[in-house]
C-alpha cells in the first residue's frame, strides 16, 4: 500500500513513488484459455482502465491424403503421418491453417461492469484428404451484446492451399479460388463457396452465422457470437475438420472452413482444395490504444485481462517505511523547521529600527 504524508512542526512530505509501473497492477491479471465455453469477467471496483490481450485461434492444418501416394512407392516401412507427408503427391494436403490475430488494447471502463470472454479454439484437422476447420475468434463483450474487442481466427487449410491469416480490418476475408465464398462485413458471417457439394462452412461474425456449405457432404457455418448465438464452431462434413469455438466454420471435401471474427471468413472452393478466409478484427472502445500482429505461434487462442497500471489517479505501489525510517524523516523535517525559525529570528534582529 502507498504510504501517506509524514508531518512535523507544520511541515509535510510525501514518500517518493517507486520506479516505472508495470503493465498490470499487481494481483489483477486473469488468464482465460480456450475451453470451448463462454467465461465471465467482473471488472474490479477500483478499475478505470483495462489492459487486454486477445489472440484468435488458428485454422486447422490439412493432413496428407495417403491414397494419393504413387502406387509404385513402397511405404510399408513408414510409421507415422509426419514421415509419410513428403510422399504425398503435390496438392494433396500438408497445408497450414492461417494464424489468428494478436491484439493488445488499453481502454477506459466504468464499474460496475461484467464482461463475457471467449478464447477462440483452433480448427480441427479432419481426416487425411479432407479440409480443415476454421479457427475461432476471441471476443470481449457485455451480456447485453455491446462488443469491446474481437480478434480474428485464421482460415482452415484446404488440400492445395494454406488458410488465410487473420485480418486486421473488421471485414472477413474471402475464401481462395475463383468462386470461393465472400467474407462477411458489418459483423455478419462469411459465405460458402459457389460450387455445389464438398464446400466448407463460413466463419461466424459477431452478429451473424456463417453460411453452410451447399450439398450433401458439406460443412456447416460457425454460430454467431452475440445472443441468441452460442459461438460454437460449425461441424465439418463426415470427414472434414470441425470449426474452432468462437465461430470457426467446418471443413469439408478438400476445402477449408472460414475463420470466426467480428465478421466471418468465407470458404475455399470445394473441388480445388482451397483454403478458408480469415475473420475480421475490431477494437470498439473510443479512445483505446492498441497494437495488432499475427499470432506469434499457431494454436488455440487465449485472453488475458488486468487493471492497467497506467490508469489515471492510481498511485504506484511503494514499500512501506519502517518505524525507524518514519522517525528519521520526522527528524529531518523538524531540523528543517528549526533552521527556518532561526533564519526568521535573525532577520528580525538585523532589521533596521
Q: What is the pLDDT of residues 219-258, one digit of tens each?
A: 999 999 999 999 999 999 988 999 999 999 999 988 999 9
Q: What is the pLDDT of residues 131-148, one digit of tens each?
A: 999 999 999 999 999 999
For every residue of 325-342, DSSP letters joined together read HHHHHHHHHHHHHHHHHH
Please give the pLDDT value at position 328: 54
What's the pLDDT band for 80 if we cut at 50, 70, 90? very low
Is residue 60 scored above 60 in pLDDT?
yes
C-alpha cell read off for 196:
455445389
Mean pLDDT, residues 54-69: 85
For every residue of 250-269, DSSP letters joined together read PPBTTBPPPPPSSS------
Q: What is the pLDDT of residues 98-115, one digit of tens each?
A: 999 999 999 999 999 999
Please give the pLDDT value at position 94: 84
Mean pLDDT, residues 290-314: 90
The rounded percent of the chain whose pLDDT value lies above 90 is: 61
Please give the pLDDT value at position 342: 62
Q: What are phi and psi of 333, to 5 degrees?
A: -65, -40
What's the pLDDT band for 198 if we cut at 50, 70, 90? low
Please give the pLDDT value at position 215: 75
Residues contacting 270, CB < 8 A, separation 6+: 193, 195, 197, 198, 199, 200, 213, 215, 218, 252, 253, 254, 255
Please give the pLDDT value at position 224: 98
Please check whether residue 249 is in contact with residue 220, taking contact to mean a CB–CB distance below 8 angstroms.
yes
- Could you identify the residue written with the cell 490504444? 289
Mean pLDDT, residues 47-52: 97
| Mean pLDDT over the full length of the chain | 82
Please give the pLDDT value at position 310: 84
Is residue 79 scored above 70 in pLDDT?
no
C-alpha cell read off for 3:
504510504
CA separation, residue 236 to residues 58, 132, 241, 275, 334 (Å):
16, 8, 5, 14, 78
Please give the pLDDT value at position 335: 65
Domain range summary for the chain, segments of one domain joined by +: 6-16+323-350, 22-317
What's the pLDDT band for 285 if we cut at 50, 70, 90? very high
Is-cis flag, bond preceding 297, omega within 30? no
Higher pLDDT, 92 or 324: 92
Within 10 angstroms of residue 65's Cβ, the number of other Cβ atoms is 20
Bridge partners for 260 per DSSP: none
- Could you identify the residue written with the cell 494454406? 162
Residues contacting 277, CB < 8 A, separation 6+: 155, 164, 172, 173, 174, 175, 176, 180, 181, 183, 190, 203, 258, 259, 265, 266, 267, 268
Please give the pLDDT value at position 316: 40
What's the pLDDT band for 337 if we cut at 50, 70, 90? low
Amino acid at each position: 500500500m502507498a504510504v501517506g504524508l509524514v508531518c512535523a512542526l507544520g511541515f509535510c512530505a510525501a514518500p517518493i513513488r517507486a520506479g516505472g509501473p508495470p503493465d498490470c497492477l499487481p494481483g489483477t491479471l486473469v488468464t482465460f484459455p480456450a475451453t470451448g465455453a463462454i467465461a465471465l469477467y467482473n471488472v474490479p471496483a477500483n478499475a478505470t482502465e483495462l489492459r487486454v490481450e486477445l489472440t484468435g485461434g488458428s485454422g486447422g492444418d490439412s493432413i496428407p491424403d495417403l491414397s494419393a501416394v504413387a502406387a509404385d512407392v513402397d511405404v510399408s516401412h513408414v510409421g507415422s503421418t509426419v514421415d509419410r507427408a513428403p510422399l504425398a503427391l503435390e496438392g494433396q494436403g500438408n497445408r497450414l491453417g492461417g494464424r489468428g490475430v494478436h491484439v493488445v488494447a488499453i481502454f477506459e471502463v466504468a464499474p460496475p461492469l461484467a464482461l463475457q470472454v471467449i478464447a477462440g479454439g483452433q480448427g480441427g484437422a479432419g481426416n487425411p484428404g479432407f479440409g480443415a476447420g476454421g479457427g475461432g475468434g476471441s471476443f470481449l463483450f457485455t451480456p447485453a451484446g455491446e462488443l469491446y474487442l474481437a480478434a480474428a481466427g485464421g482460415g482452415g487449410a484446404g488440400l492445395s492451399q494454406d488458410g488465410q491469416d487473420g485480418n486486421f480490418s473488421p471485414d472477413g476475408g474471402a475464401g481462395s479460388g475463383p468462386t470461393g465464398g465472400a467474407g462477411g462485413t458489418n459483423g455478419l458471417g462469411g459465405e460458402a463457396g459457389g460450387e455445389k457439394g464438398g464446400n466448407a462452412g463460413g466463419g461466424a461474425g459477431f452478429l451473424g452465422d456463417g453460411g453452410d456449405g451447399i450439398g450433401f457432404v458439406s460443412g456447416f457455418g460457425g454460430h454467431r457470437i452475440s445472443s441468441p448465438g452460442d459461438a460454437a464452431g460449425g461441424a465439418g462434413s463426415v470427414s472434414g475438420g470441425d470449426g474452432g469455438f468462437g465461430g470457426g466454420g467446418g471443413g469439408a471435401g478438400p476445402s477449408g472452413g472460414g475463420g470466426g471474427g467480428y465478421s466471418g471468413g468465407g470458404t475455399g472452393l470445394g473441388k480445388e482444395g482451397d483454403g478458408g478466409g480469415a475473420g475480421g478484427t475490431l477494437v470498439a472502445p473510443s479512445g483505446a490504444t492498441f497494437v495488432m500482429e499475427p499470432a506469434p505461434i499457431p494454436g488455440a487462442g487465449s485472453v488475458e485481462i488486468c487493471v492497467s497500471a497506467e490508469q489515471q489517479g492510481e498511485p504506484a505501489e511503494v514499500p512501506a517505511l519502517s518505524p525507524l525510517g518514519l522517525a528519521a524523516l520526522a527528524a529531518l523535517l523538524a531540523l528543517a523547521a528549526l533552521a527556518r525559525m532561526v533564519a526568521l529570528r535573525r532577520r528580525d534582529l538585523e532589521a533596521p529600527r
